[in-house]
Structure 1
Amino acid sequence: MSAVALRRHPERDEAADLVDVISRWLRGRGHEVVDDVAGAELVVSVGGDGTMLRAVDEAARHGVPVLGVNVGQLGYLTEVDPAQWQVALERWEAGGAAVVERMLLAVRVECAAGLAIAPDGDDAPEPLPDGSYLALNEVVLEKTPTGRMVRIGVVLDGEPFTTYAADGMIVGTPTGSTAYALSARGPIVDPTHRALVLAPVAPHSLFDRALVLTPTTQVRLEVEGDRPATVSIDGRSAGQIDVGDAIVATAAGQPARLVTFGDRNFHGILKAKFGLSDR
């Protein structure tokens, strides 16, 4: 018997219905359905990539693997479609699942006088005990919703690199290279790599290229000029920071652990999601 935690999209009826079905099936097989991820051996995420990101953030803190069931639109991160959940869990029961590790970002927010920002809303990311945050896709420092472009100073491993006047800056992972960083003309990186992707958003500069950096690079983004900026982590607002404040990102010490069955590959997913033909 195993303990399994279920996480679902909060607003989709089909996700709620499917979670009820999966819960009954698990209990009927002798498994325990638990709320506390810390006591689970598996987390099943039922929703889209947003639901998966939140499940991974919670599960990675305890080293628990996550299986994603796609009830969303794109489903880049989720492993199986709704019709396949039972086959997937039967294979997991029989030991036929593999667990792949994906690099996470560790993100720290540095505000004046050492004060942490106050997260926005109930869906704000949860800090770790040391005050840092985890991100599977990216952290973004960008202009406020009503503001104009911001000035962001980039410091790499303690050395000033340059200052961008832009709508924002993204520090992403290889997994996140097909998320927000892709829309900012960043490179597509195989998610099994370990690297940092630094991509400006709509920069007012001749130098507008994304950078691929080693995972141990410490990337510091400082708010300069006279306008504040907002911070979002995996699509969740973490609040606003002021001029002189900064975020610092590098590879996290712990990985995300995702359940896979070895019958999908990154190139095939790219072809399917972007409608690419063989010729």
Structure 2
Amino acid sequence: MTRRVLIVTHGGRPQAVAALAEALRELKTAGFEYTLHDDALAEEFGDHMAAKRVAEGVHNAEVVMVLGGDGTILRAAELTRGTDVPLLGVNLGHVGFLAESEREDLRAAVQRLAARDYEVEERATVDVTVHLPGTAEPVVGWALNEATVEKASRDRMLEVAIGVDGRPLLSFGCDGVVMSTATGSTAHAFSGGGPVIWPDVDAVLMVPLSAHALFARPLVIGPRSRYTVDVLPQSTVEGVLTCDGRREIRLPRGSRVVVRQGGTVRLARLSTAPFADRLVSKFNLPVSGWRDRVGSAHAEAQDVRSDPTSDSNTGSNTGPDNPAET
């Protein structure tokens, strides 16, 4: 039976070109057929990838291998959303939180793929519905990381009203509002001061950005609830909605954005390490406190003082017998 891999990469970067050449060589050696994605992904708001999925045979691929950073993986998710095909990310970027392998481990990743030695993890997305004033039919979209409503110009604040499950909650002026999945909690929402949410938690997070209000804190709702964000008629600026940092739509005054949990995107996992280990690794978190470090330094000093061969006990660095001191 033919095994096939679709490859998505960050074109134009020398590192990506070199990684692609190695990936093709390793996949061929492992007996895979492969197809290179032509990089014509939709950047307009919505989901317009049905024809592209068919044209590139996504449904017939065993996995979509992504060579790049988190941004490239988010692009590739446009191809696999709504299918059973998982994404396998090889990090060529900086943090690479969604990636499963680093550049130097590319050969091992292909070997694991050939041996079917990987697990598949499902990550929830959010469905986004936009009601524009004067338009009967809403516009629909989605995001794997986050949907962000922001002010369209820098000089004024965006006036919004927030609701949950059809009930008004609060209103304020702000730079924007981020609504993220658990997956996206370590991205834009994290930068805005939101909490980290473990990937297996069914939740949608909201983080206000620079809100001019006493009560404007991050909110977390469950999978059956929904947020609404209204761009108020009295807002001095219009808004813009961006999904995953790439698909956007203008929000005139009077627009309403509805965000709720949606379907899933599948990720191929080579590591079974806990999510906490991934946080420590990707963010280079200090796992020992200053007391631990002080205690360790103190113990080392005690060891040196008790060692009869150490300079501190022989006096080799002090006294008139040391030529450097005479």
- Which runs of no fewer than 5 residues in structure 2 stay unpaired? 38-55, 289-326
Higher relative contact order (CA 8 A, sep 6+): 1
SS in 2 for 1:77: coil
- 1:231 and 2:241 correspond: yes
* Structure 2 equivalent of residue 13 of structure 1: 14
Per-residue CA deviation, residues 62-120 of structure 1 (Å, 9 max, x unaligned), is 2310000000011111010011122112112212100011111111222123378xxxx
Number of matched residues? 265
Contact 2:157–2:174 (Cα < 8 Å) also in 1: yes
Residue in structure 2 matching 1:180, options 174, 177, 188: 188
Choose between structure 1 and 2: higher helix proportion: 2
Q: Distance in 1 between matches of 2:160 and 2:59?
A: 38
How do 1:197-276 residues align onto structure 2 when only pairs under 5 Å count?
197-224=205-232, 225-226=234-235, 227-252=237-262, 254-276=263-285
SS in 2 for 1:74: coil
Q: Distance in 2 between matches of 1:202 and 1:138?
A: 17
Shift of 1:58: 1.8
Alpha carbons of structure 1 residues 38 and 112: separation in structure 2 relative to 1, 3 Å: farther
TM-score (ref. length: structure 2): 0.77
How do 1:92-241 residues align onto structure 2 when only pairs under 5 Å count?
92-114=113-135, 131-224=139-232, 225-226=234-235, 227-241=237-251
- 1:79 and 2:88 correspond: no
Q: Distance in 2 between matches of 1:131 and 1:246?
A: 11
Contact 2:181–2:203 (Cα < 8 Å) also in 1: yes
Residue in structure 1 matching 2:66, options 37, 40, 45: 45
Shift of 1:237: 4.3
Shift of 1:24: 3.1
* Structure 2 equivalent of residue 25 of structure 1: 26
Contact 1:57–1:135 (Cα < 8 Å) also in 2: no
Amino acid at match of 2:282: K
TM-score (ref. length: structure 1): 0.89
Contact 1:57–1:136 (Cα < 8 Å) also in 2: no
Alpha carbons of structure 1 residues 16 and 38: separation in structure 2 relative to 1, 3 Å: farther
Q: Distance in 2 between matches of 1:140 and 1:10?
A: 27
The structure whose Rg is larger is 2
Question: Which segment is superposed worse, 42-51 or 208-217?
Answer: 208-217
- Which runs of no fewer than 5 residues in structure 1 stay unpaired? 117-129
Q: Distance in 2 between matches of 1:131 and 1:2?
A: 37
Contact 2:30–2:111 (Cα < 8 Å) also in 1: no
Question: Which segment is superposed worse, 148-157 or 266-275?
Answer: 266-275
